[in-house]
Structure 1
Amino acid sequence: MKTYCLLARTVALLFAAGIVACKKNDALVQSIPGTSGQLAVSTLPAGGEIAVPVSWYNLELKLIKETPGFSPPVAARAIAYTGITLREAVLGGMNGAPSLGGQLNGLGRLPAPERGKKYNWVIAGNSAMAQIIKSLFANAGSGNIGLVTQLESDNQQAYAGSCSPEVISRSVSYGRLIASAIYQWSASDGGKDGYLNNFPTDYTPPVGPGYWVPTAPLFQRAMLPYWGKNRPIVKFSASDSANIPPPAFSTDTASAFYKAAYFVYRKGQTLTPEETIIAQYWADGGGTFTPPGHLIALTAQLVTDQQLSLGQAANLFAQVGIGLNDAGILCWKYKYKYNLVRPISYIHSNMDSSWTPLIATPPFPSYTSGHASFTSAAGHILAARFGSNFSFTDNQKVPEGFTPRSFSSFSQMIDEASISRVYGGIHYEYDSETGKLTARSLTQKILSLNY
């Protein structure tokens, strides 16, 4: 009862900040911030250990939405290091599971708990997540940093009654030690200051037929042109992800390139109501929790719906986060290797200068699709955990007026999120198809690690 009351107090405080909804039927009803208002995640069992990490993802997604510079790849990076930190901080309670230290790219041996000493792994994970989130969101507003401090305190109090002050202190110290080690490792990956410099002024895009051009008037520079050079979290070589070029650029009406662009053009003129909804549902554009945020929100929903243990949840959060980060790096590598023209630019030059896509075109090249890459990575990891034919409903956009979207499999979700960008008029079909394929090959490396 004490644990429940303290968690309820946490919920009340977060509600005041606009993060969490309310108590209902003796359970904690969590929510995640999205484009407008809160997005329901799921109902958590009162006092369940997974309430702690889920509460941190709730807050992290609020930070992604409200902290300057957290574009999709930058958000994916933060989500990844948060998940790895959680997993390593609670590792001592995972029945002898191996550390990711020595398995991930550039990550050495991590601090180990003291032999023969007692720890509360929920408290360790809580403090670790608090510290890593503060470090990753160094430019967050003071109000949100205050929420981080408050959430750490409230979560700790919720579990403090079951152990001595010495165990609490030891657990807190260990969690922070893990967070410091993970952050130090993260700082050398090339993306540490990405949120400060999404549009570097020293990048000049190539010029010529078929090359990407900025889409005026909103965007005049390329976003994160060097992101593809970042160190991925999982070690993979060029042979691990096939180099698949886009169709050869051509303005010939009989060419594959022209036909692909014409499909986007005609689809934009003939969208059905359902196709329009799909495009808008998956948009997750500026000012939202981003596509990677949408997918980690879904992960949090499934973790709670399926009542995973703390260790199981920590593994899954780490795997999905790694997939999102590395899919973003791989996708951006493709984007600035090929610098492919966006459909709007091609259509205006070769078909119809007055055509307008449903969704605003982002400020980076077309090939491959970020949505397809992110969703394929997360979807295949979730399928590995819950099953290829696992049915589920995504509730993330209900407060924005969308009907929950139900899927009979993760593959169906991947396909829908991917084609949504074609419906939106901002990607060719092959952008999405290649994004799905390359991200799937990446997830095979992630799932092959020893957990």
Structure 2
Amino acid sequence: MNLMSTAARRSFARRHRLVLLLAVLLPGLAQADAVTDWNTTAWQAATAAGAPPIQTRVNAITHLAIHDALNSIEPRYEPYAGTHPAVRGASPEAAVATAAYMTLSITVPSQAAALETTYDTYLAGLSCPAAYPSCVSDGIAVGAAAAEAILALRANDGAATPHAPYAAPLLPGVYQPTPPNFAAPLFGNWGKVKPFALGRVTQFGAGPSPLMNLRSGTYRRDYQEVMAVGSAAVRGAPQNVDSYESRAARYWAGGGANANAIAQQVVAGRGLDLWQHARLFALMNMAQADASFGLFEGKYRYLFWRPVTAIQAAGNAQWLPYLVTPPYPDYASGLSGLTASAMEVLRRLLGTDALPYTLSAAGIERHFDTLSQAEHEAAMSRVYAGIHFRTACMDGLKQGNKIGNYVVRHYLRPRRR
């Protein structure tokens, strides 16, 4: 299926000719690393596509196109959607830029104009050696082919209708819309989207859990914990607002879980080349997308209530969580699972858990010595925020780790020499 209209193709061709002219007039402004440059552009553009689940799909499509474009020019790793004809000397940078630009323009159409400016400026900074005078044009061709292939593959994957009407009985343990706005639940169909890597969306799914038995010790412990540590009255009190727990809750909810930003910090200075960066970002974003599908399938299969509903139903009508509860069921935690899937990919590819990084979010700078430390804090931050039971967070973490491990073991593997 060809997702580009004839008009879009003509427009792309006109810009292509203009960019090639600018490249002749303004040579030599090459960027340091095309993959990390366009990774930043991708995750920033993806925020305009919608909530984090939507963003994971956008980022996966973009980085798989980048990976396949590079491995069409020089086949080092297995492709995802296939390889494409590449002329000798084709510019890898032009291929990366085109693959990213084309996929993002289709998946985040609201950003198409800004992306066009970024793309044109980027290509204008490239130049060709005398031996390959058409290198930019040749790179554009292979990048476009890679983008069209992955877009066609994902054209009817179920993502077009992410939400579904919600109705559930008013029973103990069953999810209901939460204060303060009691917004309609979102992403009821997200668990039906076709996975990128998993054989089925329920593969590695969490649960069922003792948490869902309201008479179990697990439920009683989790209930008492989140009521005590996740209360808005406790966390927001002047003496607690700068506590470790309050800062962790705000940090991870406010951007600390940006896996692409984390990965850029982790890989900086490690000497990875374009192909290695492309593979890493493709695998990581593919794992996050599949984790999002799997986690939402579980959320709407178990329909387990959120702490605020449980606590208010027990008679504490004034209790509110420190942060606003997202509009979907509790089990298992999305942020925990998404973070864990990304951390597992980084661990597997780089061969160690000891990958220190420092990242600022929500006005807070945090340093982590290991990825395990970071993913555990990410999971517990949702308890401190008052929006998840501990078991939902830890089971989400385990589910994410399993998905990340599977993706690395089965996709984009090194080619045999």
User: Smaller-chain TM-score range?
Assistant: 0.7 to 0.9
Q: Is the aligned partner of 1:190 residue 2:190?
A: no
Q: What is the SS of the residue equivalent to 1:160?
A: coil
Q: Which runs of 5+ in 2 are unaligned?
A: 1-22
Equivalent position of 2:37 in the other structure: 55
The one of 34, 37, 52 aligned to 1:72: 52
Indicate if the aligned counterparts of 1:335 and 1:365 stay in contact, CA closer than 8 A: yes
**Aligned amino acid, residue 288 of structure 2:** L
Equivalent position of 2:69 in the other structure: 89
Deviation string 1:114-172 (CA, Å, 9 cap, x unpaired) is: 4x63311111111111100001102x1xxx42221122122222222436453322221
Q: What is the SS of the residue equivalent to 1:394?
A: strand
Equivalent position of 1:319 in the other structure: 283
Shift of 1:240: 4.4
Using a 3 Å threshold, how does the CA distance of structure 1 residues 319 and 74 change in structure 2: closer, same or farther? Answer: same
Q: Is the aligned partner of 1:245 residue 2:208?
A: yes
Could you tell me how far apart the structure 1 residues matched to 2:269 and 2:40 are? 16
Alignment of 1:96-111 (within 5 A): 96-101=76-81, 110-111=82-83
Alignment of 1:279-318 (within 5 A): 279-284=249-254, 291=257, 294-318=258-282
Indicate if the aligned counterparts of 1:236 and 1:445 stay in contact, CA closer than 8 A: no
Equivalent position of 1:341 in the other structure: 305
Shift of 1:81: 0.7
Shift of 1:207: 4.2
Shift of 1:402: 1.2
**Aligned amino acid, residue 283 of structure 1:** A
Q: Which runs of 5+ in 1 are unaligned?
A: 10-45, 102-109
Q: Is the aligned partner of 1:259 residue 2:221?
A: yes
Equivalent position of 2:101 in the other structure: 130
The one of 358, 365, 385 aligned to 2:329: 365
The one of 401, 408, 415 aligned to 2:363: 401
Structure 1 stretches of 4+ with a deviation exceeding 6 A read: 5-9
**Aligned amino acid, residue 146 of structure 2:** I
The one of 135, 151, 154 aligned to 2:121: 154
Could you tell me how far apart the structure 1 residues matched to 2:152 and 2:140 are? 18
Shift of 1:416: 0.6
Could you tell me how far apart the structure 1 residues matched to 2:63 and 2:380 are? 28
Q: What is the SS of the residue equivalent to 1:406?
A: strand
The one of 51, 70, 90 aligned to 1:119: 90
Indicate if the aligned counterparts of 1:334 and 1:367 stay in contact, CA closer than 8 A: yes
**Aligned amino acid, residue 261 of structure 1:** Y
Give me the identity figure in percent: 23
241-250 vs 151-160, greater mean Cα deviation: 241-250
Equivalent position of 2:148 in the other structure: 180
Indicate if the aligned counterparts of 2:173 and 2:214 stay in contact, CA closer than 8 A: no
Equivalent position of 1:430 in the other structure: 391
Q: What is the SS of the residue equivalent to 1:378?
A: helix
Q: Give aligned pairs, total.
A: 381
Equivalent position of 1:13 in the other structure: none
**Aligned amino acid, residue 112 of structure 1:** H
**Aligned amino acid, residue 363 of structure 2:** G
**Aligned amino acid, residue 244 of structure 2:** E
The one of 220, 231, 234 aligned to 2:194: 231
